[in-house]
Amino acid sequence: MKPAAQLTHLDARNRPAMVDVGGKAVTRRTAHAVATVALPPALARLVTGNEIQSKKGPLFQTAILAGIMGAKQTSGLIPLCHPLPLDDCRIAIEAGPPGSDGAADVAIHCHVSVAARTGVEMEALTGATIAALTLYDMGKAVSHGIVIKEIRLLEKTGGKKAYRAVR
């Protein structure tokens, strides 16, 4: 029988611990995460030219800025994450076509890269998540029926293990 996978953020006494990455080589590392947000019909109707204008400002552009800011602050939000000086963080928001019920899905893609000793998966996931939460916050004036359906890692490169999600 194969032994259970070991959690890397626990020390020998099973206490929380930051992973020591001091012995790892600095390599280029990238990650791509996506958040899928379902817009109810009342909000989906407001999408024009892949943007929603509101009294609070442009929803998608504000969500992009918030997501980038969130990615940069990941280590302050997740206790055992290493602080990373991101080389790049790009967020793109794509609104899908409305369905027969008038609702539409929005895909929020966050691509992050760094030259470091540890990966940037958490930064990509955080960026996509904060952008989705910002979209919810700004859109709730129209409808509380917004649903953040899924947040997941699609790909990571660099380090020991590359990952690509099956789509």
Q: Looking at residue 83, which CATH number applies to its domain?
A: 3.30.70.640
Assess if residue 4 is contained within a domain.
no
Percent of the chain scored above 90 by pLDDT? 73
141 DSSP 8-state letter = T
- Cα 113 to Cα 7, 46, 78, 127, 142: the distances in Å are 24, 33, 18, 12, 35
Structure-block tokens of residue 5: 């996978």
Q: Which band of pLDDT confidence, cut at 50, 70 and 90, is reported for residue 1?
A: very low
**pLDDT tens digits, residue range 106-156?**
999 999 999 999 999 999 999 999 999 999 999 999 999 999 999 999 999
Q: What is the CA angle 55-72-119, rounded to 5?
A: 135
Assess if residue 78 is contained within a domain.
yes
- The residue-averaged pLDDT of 6-29 equals 80
Using CA atoms, how far apart are residues 113 and 90, in angstroms rounded to an integer?
9
Assess if residue 97 is contained within a domain.
yes
**pLDDT tens digits, residue range 76-104?**
999 989 999 999 999 999 999 999 999 99
Is the model's pLDDT at 2 over the cut of 60? Answer: no
* Catalytic site positions: 137
Assess if residue 80 is contained within a domain.
yes
- Work out how many domains the chain is built from and give that number: 1
Phi, psi (rounded to 5 degrees) for 56: -85, -5
* 126 Cβ contact list (under 8 Å, min separation 6): 70, 71, 73, 74, 77, 78
pLDDT of residue 109: 98
pTM (whole model) above 0.75: yes
Q: Which band of pLDDT confidence, cut at 50, 70 and 90, is reported for residue 9?
A: confident
Structure-block tokens of residue 106: 């929005």
Q: Is 73 helix (H, G, I), strand (E, B) or coil?
A: coil
Residue numbers of the domain that contains 94: 47-158
